Amino acid sequence: MTASLQRSPADDPNSPLARVLRQPLLLGLFLPVQDGGWTPSTLPRTTTWTFDYNAALTRRAEALGFDLVFALAQWAGAGGYGGDIRYREISLDSFMATAALSACTERILLISTLHVLYGPWHPVHLAKFGATLDHISKGRWGINVVTGYAEREPLMFGMKKIEHDKRYEMTDVFVQRLKQLWSLTENLTVDGPWYAMEDAFVSPKPAYGRPILVNAAGSPAGIQYAAQHSDLIFITSPAGNQIEDALASLPDHIANIRAVAAAAGRSLRTMINPMVICRDTEAEAIAYRDAIEAAADVVAVENFAEHGRRGDSQAWRKQRRQHRAIGGNLHLVGSPEQIVDKLLKLKAAGIDGVQLTFYDFAPDLEYFGEKVLPLLYQAGLRIPDATAANGRQANHETRKELQP
């Protein structure tokens, strides 16, 4: 691949991605665009899948100085993952919802998740849509490219499941075509494999070379793909959801990812997904966690776990059953000081950023902003960003917006 096609928006110091990469620890929010959020529990909460709720969360995160938001993509059947709460039966489309957020935010990065191999997607479609969103968002939009590990999802599109490594071969070609369409100033004609096109052309061109590219991976094929294409790689803890196990396993895992990227002549930033359960004292935080678990919809918990077992994702194979109902890849439970200490240890283990989830998103995000965020600045995990000053002036209004 030519050097011009390898160019990342991070290479342009004026790009939104380059701006946020100056932070010692990237701070993201994993939006609850799906019913039940990340936790199949019946404990009362405000969290909801609606666009208005997620837009308010995004604007609040932006005001607090967060760097980016993600949204997942899923294709659940009637009843979702079951149980009394019909876990995740309802979900917004990640691509559409995140696209809409570009018009009501100013600074925060917006990452859509897309199953690029499902249905009739073609690189020309996505290159045009992506270039348009790049223009609307002024370079703040990106794609979390997923290949689809689930057993049943491809059936919805009249497809058979594609073998794991072949999915990455196809996705590699798909994204190469995207990069060509975003960069070339003349028509593109290719015969294949998989994605033929004749005299294809896309405009406007993205402001900083291309939109931001992200993927989640734990397998050799997925990591190799990330090394070739991604700016951020979303990883899981190889040893499960408890922080002590994660800290023991992450350094070697991340060192391998960085070595693969270096061999491709690139660098990758790693992000992980902690569920944060924080209260003034450790005892209060543990009591909150235990209350969430005590109200777990056990049918939904087991059905969701079975969905993962029936897929071929390699990133989740060693997840432990302990506190499984809580959700998230990693559990951070404790006082504000303890949360910051655990984030410092994750940074020392090689993590470049965190994509946070909460049980009760609106009040828990507010608590995090009030009690934990100042400590992150004191600890050197965050530095002031002058471009976020206008957002911080909007704190009062975004607080009011999230009040029930």
pLDDT digits (tens, 9 = 90+) for 313-356: 555 455 555 678 898 889 999 999 999 999 999 999 999 999 99
Kindly write down the DSSP assignment for every residue of 65-106, as one continuous string: T--EEEE------TTTT-TTTTTT--B--HHHHHHHHTTS-S
The CATH number of whichever domain residue 93 belongs to comes to 3.20.20.30
3-state secondary structure of 139: coil
Instruction: Tell me how far apart the alpha carbons of residues 286 and 289 are, in angstroms, rounded to a whole number.
Output: 5
pLDDT digits (tens, 9 = 90+) for 117-155: 998 899 999 999 999 999 999 999 999 999 998 888 999
The predicted pLDDT at position 7 comes to 83
Residue numbers of the chain with a pLDDT score lower than 50: 1, 3, 316, 389-394
Parallel, antiparallel or unpaired: strands 197-200 and 188-190 = antiparallel
3-state secondary structure of 61: helix
What residue numbers bound the domain in which 311 lies? 3-402
Kindly write down the DSSP assignment for every residue of 229-254, as one continuous string: H-SEEE---TT-SBHHHHHHHHHHHH
User: The tokens 């489309």 sit on which residue?
Assistant: 93
How many domains does the chain contain in total? 1
The predicted pLDDT at position 392 comes to 47
